[in-house]
Structure 1
């Protein structure tokens, strides 16, 4: 994902890299902070909403608030007023299953027309909001706790700017389309926009009961409440094309749609594994993470796909979806199945320099807004990622190990073959056996690994690395991806090909060790530049190598010691860049911050090499960070300052929350600590030298599935040992504890 710092389009030409003193063209303006006041998010399908804690939108200008649908903001203002005044906030909370937001409000002290006083706390207002099928539903339930009847005026102020998501992020446009507004019915206002892409977009506001006055930007009605009486007002905002239903929804539709949201959420999580522990706050953190993941998981014709994050990345991202699926694989394999099928369906089939596409390459990003349609940003269907393709191969192999689903991987085999060809051909630009990247046009992303900000790849002296660039972790992904493809090929009966892929992976491993290891810094080079000079920089990227298994065991242990040392481990997690490096900045996006998903992959690497105590320490750090967050939610990233007593981690101003791979990271690190492994062929669930961090006395996992088997297990810490009890089991699979 692009570096959210600032929007300036000037870049160095010729070397495929932004200059160190220049900003990425797709950054996010810093004044658009997401942490300066509490925000609430809702999502369903291709729509999401960002609201303030009152449930309002747009009370503060130039923010990310709004109701968005397919990368366009269809509602940029919605404010509720009682007698012209903003209500007093009592409480504001998303429902536990994240399907809706409930805000409790009351009236301030008000002087009514005629001089009568309405004392504060007389009228209670329960505001409920949710999204469903392109419709933003709200219900205002009012109750009079006074001793006399009250007639009060309610005002609804609304507007739609139809700004593309990239405009909201800070990109300036020279031209925009045409807006118009009309009220064709007493209960309905319509706001329309004809985009430069020729598409008509419409926002329809309906109010029940019908207001006494309605205009393009506001509506007013009076409600009379006897003592103790309850009344409701329902508002629905439809977002989309001309096909948006224009019939007023009414109260009955509100409750039916609300019921459908709850049913859909229960259905999506009905068969997943669940985790409870001995620590109540950790249970809250895990519950929030599950809620966020299944809020972001969007169901399409090919299955579930976890959209990357709200607000900037609520769409399909290849890398994010794959890593989220990997981290959630033991909890819910159907996420991985959906991700594999969607990315196979969108795999590039021909070369297109404008979108950085080559045959066999896996998608980076999919956008549906006006600017993408016009080519003002290259992300309509964009392939500027070097790592999604080998990660796709890894996920396919991991999915087969987890599920034994030969039918799905057989259907994916042509896509696997195409991905392998990309690794050998377009991915290896100079034929040296390593996978490199270089953007093909100046409009593409300059850096195309997971650290895709303009300044993330550099030499030890702080100078830019010029392309084509071979990132260290991508070579690990390519190694593990070829081994995964070899296993799949063997399963499908292609034994000769399986042998060739295994041999190719081994050659890569040997060449990688001899080329990337830097003895003087005790870790692997961050990357090789176009002249094959190593970037001798201590970064978290090397930890991903342990996850792939490409490392020599002795060197893996040295990498782990470095990453868990004071220069890299902040106390909350592993920094993206070690202190003392030329571009270290704990407030940067990729050069010193802490990313939960990055930590999760590193922790899984620790577990692979038997370093369970290190994995447990990462789990403890991330848990402590989450416990300090509002709603117990891990954000996309946070600043990499050293942990200080009595203070939580320092927030990054435009970090997305929720973010799919951040939420999934907790389950990945927990699996690493427990040594949780699945072998469908052997019909075994293994706990390989399980370790529990000091804050956990026990963990209970229910509905853990392998094939037809379902089991509940409890792990209990006894000093330095962990005991395991099987509480329930149906089916033939065994659980094996390895000490």
Structure 2
């Protein structure tokens, strides 16, 4: 009865969050999900290998932000099979699901006892097509007769519809049975674009309808049979598909080819090796061939597209292992650099992309993300990465290609990026459709004052000023390489002036750290945040204050035992279950760790490294997710997961490699052909690290680093070409 219902009190903040146009809802429990990806196509399935059979997921076959298959469910005599197990191949190339039959009755009589049929679903994704083999074997001692059916459908929903957006109008959809083996779905969108799903069955089913395929099997004892299914996105009618096994071998061959030339890391710790292997497999899966080069897409399911900030940070994290990623990221973002003012897209000349979308809603501007520029940090991060890439590789040819884009980016930093000309880069969305906060912590409530009040007006984030400082110093080095001496001196001078200005405006003596931001009235947001830790990475922090910041980050209000929280415990909006106000983000910790190493705080590096490694050891597949909850660590308990975190997520996957880089203090000087390990120190759980094919230009080296207490020794196992390697102990 209605009178018996007790109304729940819902805070205004919760309502505001849920009504945000880009909020990702979590509505309830569901089957575990697994994701596969190849280039611009990804597939989300549940633990049974089904799509859309269980509530609460983002299931489907997606291409360019449109869902091409919304339902695919396998049944035996109209009953759900029993799950034996579900396993993703180590290289992410395929998902294997083992099923068996339940007790099957007909007319009240048991006709097939449970556990007699072994059903193996092998699923992989390649070149816009989801391939599936359903293998069947009768392990009983009598003949087994049964019906196997596949129910399927699609909706051509835009990704933002799948996330919860409601559209008043949609395009026209049709379905057709083309042959005894083929079904097609067609959609003409409101953007006047045609999209199509083609389904091919082999062998032909006993009965094929536009939403159902039915097979009748009679298997003798130990007899086997197979059903093959291919679901393609926008496949031309004239294009013939390669058979399942040929496609699978070609797909795996392509994946192996993509990893050639990448430095490999192997350690004495088997569990950490599993973390590293999973991370590399995830990065390889997320990295996508684009016209400008390979680009790491941000994450599955919601962020499987070009994101500026995510791509830049991932490339930065992987720069020491594979600088080719950085080259692809820089070239792609330069190609899509903003050239004009567009308020809906938060675009201004010289600004670097935030995200790119290819769906119907983006094309119609129902969401502003076709090419959206609402991130304040992508532009300085672009300049930073360009400088670090050149420092790492000595690639002057790419520098010359990128220099016009670098200058345009600096033009935005000094111009529209600083609207009130106070010397700090700031943001404020141009329309209500844009993101309210435009740093990496982009939740609506991420930037606030000590009393919890949200910051308003043009907001200057602390870490962004650090990015600008590092960007100008690195751009100065690039200008020197190009012979632009006067420009180099100007950029260096601007960086030093920014550092002095920043210290005066952002340092909070009473906190012993830096304010997270300045609001529109230039009032500091006096909140202890991990943003201060990222400042260490940029080098803008004075050494005496760097020690204070590092010490604070290692105290229990920040460090949970698993990692450093985004917001310190005790701050007004601290919530360990929030997205940005107290959770733990692996990539955030990775950047902080690079900063700690920069200032020589190797004991702190080791502490964070150990916490994140032990967190990963509890995670499914040893995979660090986008984020997890910031609860304090308890004995004999793993970390608490965040329910809608992306996994895999590119910058989380790159984190284990960044932790190794920071611990070893890896530095490169391409002009001198020199690799240096500065103050190397391994955590107690690693006795040995072996780096193979560590490249510098056309030379490479294999190294073994062994731990001896707090010190290390290094052994050169192999060299190819002219290269110098040394350990540097610096105070």
Normalising to structure 1: TM-score of the pair?
A: 0.95
Counterpart of 2:444 in 1: which secondary structure?
coil
Correspondence 1:106-145 to 2 at 5 A: 106-111=100-105, 117-145=111-139
Residue from 383, 390, 399 that aligns with 2:389: 399
2:318 matched residue in structure 1: 328
Q: Deviations over 1:641-661 (max 9, x none)?
A: 101111111111110000000
SS in 2 for 1:672: helix
Q: What does 1:258-337 align with in structure 2 at a 5 Å threshold?
A: 258-337=248-327
Q: Structure 1: how far apart are the matches of 2:525 and 2:236?
A: 53
Q: Does 1:600 align with 2:590?
A: yes
2: CA distance, partners of 1:21 / 1:310 = 22
Per-residue deviation at 1:83?
Answer: 2.2
- The reply on whether 1:91 has 2:91 as its aligned counterpart is no
Structure 1 counterpart of 2:709: 719
Q: Residue 26 of structure 2 is aligned with which of 22, 27, 30?
A: 30
1:230 aligns to 2:220 (yes or no)? no
SS at match of 1:207: strand
8 Å contact 1:460–1:582 — kept in the other structure? yes
**1:697 Cα deviation from its structure 2 partner:** 1.2
Contact 1:711 1:729 in 2 (8 A): yes
Distance 1:660 1:21 in 2: 25
Equivalenced residues, count: 718
Q: Root-mean-square deviation (CA), in Å?
A: 1.8
Q: Residue 715 of structure 1 contacts residue 725 of structure 1 at CA under 8 Å; is this kept in 2?
A: yes
Matching residue within 155, 176, 189 for 2:183: 189
* Partners of 2:288 and 2:294 within 8 A in 1: yes
User: Which runs of no fewer than 5 residues in structure 2 stay unpaired?
Assistant: 1-11
Highest RCO, 1 vs 2 (Cα 8 Å, sep ≥ 6): 1
SS in 2 for 1:31: coil
Deviation at 1:114, TM superposition (A): 10
CA deviation map 1:509-530 (0-9, x unaligned): 1111111111010101111111
> Match for residue 444 of structure 1?
434
C-alpha separation in 1, matches of 2:610 and 2:133? 41
Distance in 2 between residues matched to 1:486 and 1:372, nearest whole Å: 38
SS in 1 for 2:353: coil
In the alignment, which of 503, 517, 521 is matched to residue 531 of structure 1? 521
The aligned runs of 1:2-41 (5 Å cut-off) are 23-31=19-27, 37-41=31-35
Match of 2:372 in 1: 382
Q: Check the 8 A contact 2:451/2:572 in 1, yes or no.
A: yes
Alignment of 1:11-90 (within 5 A): 23-31=19-27, 37-90=31-84
Shift in Å at residue 613 of structure 1?
1.3
Q: In structure 1, the residue corresponding to 2:243 is in which secondary structure?
A: helix
The answer to whether the Cα contact below 8 Å between 1:18 and 1:446 also exists between their aligned partners in 2 is: no
Aligned in 2, Cα 1:247/1:120: closer, same or farther, shift over 3 Å? farther
- C-alpha change, 1:74 and 1:328, in structure 2 (3 Å) is same
Change (3 A) 1:401 1:247: closer
Structure 1 position 248, deviation (Å): 7.3
CA distance in 2, matches of 1:676, 1:19: 47
TM-score, scaled relative to structure 2? 0.96
Q: Distance in 2 between matches of 1:134 and 1:568?
A: 44
- From 571, 574, 589, the counterpart of 1:581: 571
> CA shift at 1:22, angstroms?
7.6
1:516 to 506, 525, 532: 506
Q: Could you list the per-position Cα deviations for residues 200-220 of structure 1 after superposition, in whole angstroms to 9, with x for gaps in the alignment? A: 222222111011111121110
Please tell me whether residue 253 in structure 1 is matched to residue 227 in structure 2. Answer: no
Are 1:483 and 2:510 matched, yes or no?
no
Structure 1 residues 22 and 287, CA gap change in structure 2 (3 angstroms):
closer
Instruction: For residues 249-287 of structure 1, give each alpha carbon's deviation from its aligned partner in whole angstroms, at most 9, with x where no partner exists.
Output: 4xx611121112101110111110111111111111111
Q: Does 403-412 or 99-108 show the bigger shift?
A: 99-108
Specify whether residues 372 and 169 from structure 1 end up closer, same or farther in structure 2 by C-alpha distance, changes over 3 A only: same
Q: Secondary structure at the match of 1:687?
A: strand
Question: In structure 2, what is the Cα distance between the partners aligned to 1:247 and 1:490?
Answer: 52
- Alignment match, 2:341: 351
Distance in 1 (CA, whole Å) between partners of 2:243 and 2:642 is 40
Answer yes or no: is the 8 Å Cα contact 2:18–2:25 preserved in 1.
no
Instruction: Report the alpha carbon displacement of residue 429 of structure 1 after superposing the two structures with TM.
Output: 0.7
What SS does the corresponding residue of 1:663 show, helix, strand or coil? helix
Aligned to 1:552: 542
Match for residue 4 of structure 1? none
Alpha-carbon deviation of 1:111? Answer: 3.3
Q: Tell whether the 8 Å contact from 1:24 to 1:453 is kept in structure 2 after alignment.
A: no
Q: Distance in 1 between matches of 2:528 and 2:269?
A: 35
Deviation of 1:345 after TM superposition, in Å, equals 0.4
Give 1:156's aligned residue.
Answer: 150
| 1:433 corresponds to | 423
Instruction: Specify every segment of 5 or more residues in structure 1 that has no aligned partner in the other structure, as ranges.
Output: 1-11
What is aligned with 2:5? Answer: none
Post-superposition Cα deviations, 1:604-626, rounded to whole Å, max 9, x if no partner, equal: 00000011111111111111111
Deviation at 1:25, TM superposition (A): 2.1
Of 309-318 and 71-80, more deviation after overlay is shown by 71-80
Match status 1:634 vs 2:628: no
3-state SS, counterpart of residue 313 of structure 2 = helix
Q: Residues 21, 245 of structure 1: CA spacing in aligned structure 2 closer, same or farther, 3 A cutoff?
A: closer
Query: Do the aligned partners of residues 735 and 692 (structure 1) sit closer, same or farther apart at CA in structure 2, a change above 3 Å counting?
Result: same
Cα drift, residue 178 of structure 1: 2.2
Displacement after TM superposition at 1:19 (Å): 10
Distance across 1 between alignment mates of 2:419 and 2:365: 27
1:361-385 superposed Cα distances (whole Å, 9 cap, x missing partner): 0000000111111111111100000
Q: CA 1:451/1:197 → structure 2, altered by over 3 Å: closer, same or farther?
A: same
CA contact (8 A) 1:687 1:737 kept: yes
